[in-house]
């Protein structure tokens, strides 16, 4: 059935990636149902500002809802006409999972289970969900390939995402629900999260504050611009799931790791300000390197990331300075 005949549910619609995915769908003319609990993990006003942008569309309907609330979610599903679920709501952040693991259990495990069950009851045609590059954990085999073993996550956040992949597989196997997991690699861009490197470094440098550089800057990240993420997800959404392989997993990254010190150098260059760097030890739970092999996604949907780091940082800074009036 066409996406235009039945709507798309986007969970975490007021979040960073959820906002961009919702906006793309709305611009393409699809009916989008958005839910988000608007928690205070970071600045709620930023979430509300994203939501204000989405509320300008007539084909967007939003409800404040916590996916861990089983009864409320069941009632919500009965009120909407939805054929596809794009599940992006989750408690994010590797480092925060060291401090408050309980919220990861609620959102990422109970909430995920609730969504799977509601999707089964509603006979959803395709369930797409966010996983993470963090599931590769202690692996030192580069680049990361989807078939690699992911049984040794370094953080509880990564463990919950690994659990999501297993839970989704079981629902696909038991109930023939097509499920697709996307392992995101260090997503960045306009409207990003304040706890992520580009946002945090930019904010502190512009305010004249020092930045913490973990492992003396000897870390590598496969930075992926948000528009490339959205394009890949959108193509998957428009592609009929493989009837012989109902549970799929894809890496979705840029495919080119960048050393943290090089990343900071480019940011300093574009800001025209030298950062006051404080070099600190490796953070518990952090991975040394992330590196996506995207060949599988390229073969399936012709995915090819377009936005290199220099351009992506420039786009983010333009948004940041406009939004915060620097």
Per-residue pLDDT at 202: 98
- 288 annotated active-site: no
Provide CB contacts within 8 A for 247, sequence distance 6+: 168, 169, 172, 173, 178, 179, 180, 181
CATH number of the CATH domain containing 119: 3.40.50.720
Q: Provide the pLDDT for residue 244.
A: 74
Please tell me the total count of domains within the chain.
Answer: 1
In the DSSP assignment, the letter for residue 289 is B
Res 285: pLDDT: 87
Name the residue among 88, 81, 93, 89 with its Cα closest to residue 7.
81
Listed as ranges, residues in the chain with pLDDT below 70 are 1-5
Q: Select from 322, 323, 217, 312 the least CA-distant residue to 267.
A: 312
Residue 175 lies in a domain: yes
pLDDT at 240: 83
> Does residue 281 belong to any structural domain of this protein?
no
Asked whether residue 202 is domain-assigned, the answer is no
Closest among 223, 206, 182 to 270, alpha carbons compared? 206
Q: Which pLDDT score, from 0 to 100, does residue 1 have? A: 45
The answer to the question of residue 182 being in a domain is yes
How far, in Å, CA of 105 to CA of 304, rounded?
34
Which of 157, 171, 225, 303 does the annotation list as catalytic?
157
Note whether residue 47 is domain-resident: yes
CB-based contact 201:267 (threshold 8 Å): yes
pTM comes to 0.96
Instruction: Examine residue 316 and state whether it is found in any structural domain, yes or no.
Output: no
pLDDT of residue 277: 96
In a domain, 276, yes or no: no
pLDDT at 2: 54
- Spatial contact of 144 and 290, defined as CB atoms under 8 Å apart: yes
Domain of 40 in residue numbering reads as: 7-187+223-255+290-306
- Is 192 a member of any domain? no
Could you tell me which of 256, 268, 241, 246 has the C-alpha nearest to residue 309?
256
């Amino acid at each position: 059935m066409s996406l235009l005949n039945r709507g798309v549910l986007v969970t975490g619609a007021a979040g960073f990636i959820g906002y961009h995915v919702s906006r793309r769908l709305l611009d393409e003319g699809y009916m989008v149902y958005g839910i988000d609990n608007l928690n205070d993990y970071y600045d709620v006003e930023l979430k509300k500002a994203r939501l204000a942008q989405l509320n300008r569309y007539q084909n967007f309907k939003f409800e404040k809802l916590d996916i861990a609330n089983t009864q409320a979610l069941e009632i919500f599903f009965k009120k909407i006409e939805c054929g596809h679920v794009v599940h992006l709501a989750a408690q994010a952040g590797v480092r925060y999972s060291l401090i408050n693991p309980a919220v990861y259990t609620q959102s990422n495990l109970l909430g995920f289970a609730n969504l799977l069950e509601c999707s089964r009851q509603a006979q959803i045609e395709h369930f797409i969900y966010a996983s993470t590059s963090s599931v590769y954990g202690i692996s030192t085999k580069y680049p990361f390939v989807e078939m690699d073993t992911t049984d040794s996550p370094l953080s509880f956040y990564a463990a919950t995402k690994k659990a999501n992949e297993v839970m989704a597989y079981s629902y696909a196997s038991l109930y023939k629900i097509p499920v697709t997991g996307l392992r995101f690699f260090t997503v960045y861009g306009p409207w990003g999260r304040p706890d992520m490197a580009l946002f945090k470094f930019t904010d502190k440098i512009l305010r004249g504050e020092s930045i913490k550089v973990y492992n003396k800057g000897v870390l590598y990240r496969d930075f992926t611009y948000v528009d490339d993420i959205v394009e890949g997800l959108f193509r998957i959404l428009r592609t009929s799931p493989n009837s012989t392989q109902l549970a799929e997993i894809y890496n979705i990254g840029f495919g080119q790791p960048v050393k943290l010190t090089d990343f900071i150098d480019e940011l300093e260059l574009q800001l025209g300000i030298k950062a006051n760097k404080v070099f600190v030890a490796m953070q518990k739970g952090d991975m040394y390197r992330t590196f996506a092999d995207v060949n599988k996604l390229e073969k399936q949907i012709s995915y090819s990331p377009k936005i290199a780091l220099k351009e992506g940082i420039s786009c983010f800074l333009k948004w940041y300075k406009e939004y915060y009036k620097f």
